[in-house]
Amino acid sequence: MPSPQPSSIRVGRRYRANRLDGPYDVLVIGSGIGGLCAAACLSKLGKKVAVFEQHYTAGGFTHSYERNGYEWDVGVHYIGDMGARHTLSRRLFDHITDGKLQWAPMDACYDRIFLGDRHYDLVAGPDAFRAELKKAFPDQHGAIDAYMKALNKAAGAIKPFTASKLLPAPLTRVARLALNRGALGHYNRPTREVLAELTDDPELIAVLTGQWGDNGLPPARSSFLIHALIARHYLYGGYYPVGGASEIARNVIPVIQQGGGEVFTYADVTNILIENGRAVGVRLADGHEERAATVISDAGVFNTFTELLPDTTPQHAAYRKQLGQVRRAMASACLYIGLNDTAENLGLPKTNYWIYPDNDYEGQLDRALADPDHHDIPLTYISFPSAKDPDFTRRYPGRATIEIVAAAPFEWYQRWADAPWGKRGDDYEAKKEDFSQRLLEKLFEKHPHLRDHLDYYELSTPLSTAHFCRYPEGEIYGLDHDPERFEQDWLRPKTKVPGLYLTGQDILTCGVGGALVGGLMTTLAISGRRGLPLAKRMLV
């Protein structure tokens, strides 16, 4: 992400070896929402937890940054299932923040899908959602009803799939074989393939899959399982954290501290310590070694098994081989925009825009990747965070912000990857400026009056993600969510290395919701019977 200087949004305690207050029961590498959730849940179960974050602020993709009198969130654009306290995501957030994190609803139309000069609205509530689609597609009522049923069946199949990740490895494989004979196997096929069995209308398929940027794969390549999870997640509307995304970590950290633990920033873990085949702690960049019986990695499976786990570990070769069965997810660029008036005065919506040249998602994407300078941007996502956050104007009076995200492969910027951040040269800056102007024009096409209120903008590229968030190719969603990914039994909380666990979006699914539940699953894998009351409270 952009430079940490200047910034006032610093969450967590700056690391110094003499500030550690061990011994700790658990060490967590990375402070994404998966790591924070696991740390908070384990703290409530009596564990003393230290979280090590290499960035200047905690939160992973849920952190915020400030520049030139504006504030932006780098990864939280909206979250579903927050309107009712009985949903798993809301119960979990309330649990790890002691109920202090507040949520604001977006507009009833939470996502608007633009296909060329046409647009369609996704509206909150299953009945309203269905009715809006039927109004737009009057000859597709049967297909829309069948689609809603398929969402329920596919999302339902994920529940036993998730639970199977807590079983011993041999039983996981047996359970998966059984699950694959049912709904899980039926729906773990390409999204477009499943939808083609319901309708032959390409426009309807495009509208139903218009949120494909939320998992990073177009419908011909993604699993219908991830499509169903995302569509269901937002079916009752989108929500935004009051006070911005940094409020997430700010409200989780006190829960960790209540258990005697802490979240340290500028704490760069370079190695997982292995003794006699077991994980026993971590080594930090300053050479300090901190030991604990349990180590959790929220750094992603590629970082964990290629960078952090010593190659002398007995299981190292096996994990390196398994990494060949998964692929890094999409990379993106994000344009952060500051406007010199309020969201209310400017009429900014609490609706996300998904803008596509037409309904041929795969064709547009492939053509743009092959010739990015002479082809339309295949996916442009526009979010209006200052309109969604009712507290923004209090913090930043007379100002508003917008964020525009677009697919931007790492390969477009790879030739500058070895140059230091901030010193990549004029040609790199020129490439960024060209892409920034193209994105701004997408915004001005929808809201021409904003051209006169543009005060500041800056673009982050996949190299920014690699530098600040340690995803080497800018892969914001960790792993691709294709059907093969859901066949990987080793993507589970408990690794084959005793004492080492995984958490975050790689062990379950992408996004804040997926990583959050990943944190719960890691907690349950570590705590065993002691975690049964938590499992019952959250999952039953």
- Say what the alpha-carbon torsion angle 164, 168, 174, 175 is, to the nearest 10 degrees: -10
* DSSP 8-state symbol, 409: -
Whole-angstrom Cα distance, residue 102 to residue 240? 9
- In sequence order, which residues have a C-beta less than 8 Å from that of residue 372 and are 6 or more positions away? 412
Strand-pairing partners, residue 335, are 404, 459
Helix (H) or strand (E) segment spanning residue 196: helix 191-196
**Is the Cβ–Cβ distance between 124 and 108 less than 8 Å?**
yes
Helix (H) or strand (E) segment spanning residue 213: none
pLDDT for the residue numbered 3:
37
Whole-angstrom Cα distance, residue 509 to residue 505? 5
pLDDT for the residue numbered 8:
53
**Mind giving me the DSSP string for 13-31?**
EE--GGG-----SEEEE--
Listed residue (269, 272, 282) closest to 310, CA to CA: 272
Give pLDDT tens digits for 92-128. Answer: 999 999 999 999 999 999 999 999 999 999 999 999 9
* DSSP 8-state symbol, 5: S
pTM of the complete model? 0.95
pLDDT for the residue numbered 506:
97
Classify residue 426 by burial, with Cβ atoms within 10 Å: 0-12, 13-18, 19+.
Answer: exposed
pLDDT for the residue numbered 229:
96
Residue 91 tokens, joined: 């119960």
Whole-angstrom Cα distance, residue 390 to residue 412? 37
Per-residue pLDDT of the chain (540 residues; tens, 9 = 90+): 333 333 457 899 999 999 999 999 999 999 999 999 999 999 999 999 999 999 999 999 999 999 999 999 999 999 999 999 999 999 999 999 999 999 999 999 999 999 999 999 999 999 999 999 999 999 999 999 999 999 999 999 999 999 999 988 778 777 877 788 889 999 999 999 999 999 999 999 999 999 999 999 999 999 999 999 999 999 999 999 999 999 999 999 999 999 999 999 999 999 999 999 999 999 999 999 999 999 999 999 999 999 999 999 999 999 999 999 999 998 999 999 999 999 999 999 999 999 999 999 999 999 998 888 878 999 999 999 999 999 999 999 999 999 999 999 899 999 998 888 778 889 999 999 999 999 999 999 999 999 999 999 999 999 988 888 888 888 989 999 999 999 999 999 999 999 999 999 999 999 999 999 999 999 999 999 999 999 999 987
Residue 420 tokens, joined: 């230091």
Whole-angstrom Cα distance, residue 425 to residue 446? 33
- In the predicted model, what is the mean pLDDT of the chain? 94
Q: Does residue 109 sit in helix, strand or coil?
A: strand
Whole-angstrom Cα distance, residue 424 to residue 415? 10
pLDDT for the residue numbered 5:
39
Helix (H) and strand (E) counts in the chain: 20, 21
Whole-angstrom Cα distance, residue 466 to residue 256? 28
Give pLDDT tens digits for 393-432. Answer: 999 999 999 999 999 989 999 999 888 877 888 999 999 9
Q: Residue 284 — φ and ψ, nearest 5°?
A: -100, 170
Whole-angstrom Cα distance, residue 285 to residue 388? 39
Domain boundaries, the chain: 13-65+81-101+242-325+488-539, 125-235
Q: Residue 261 — φ and ψ, nearest 5°?
A: -95, -170
User: CATH number of the domain at 13-65+81-101+242-325+488-539, out of 3.40.10.10, 1.20.120.1780, 3.50.50.60, 3.30.420.60?
Assistant: 3.50.50.60
* Block residue for tokens 């177009």: 218
pLDDT for the residue numbered 7:
46
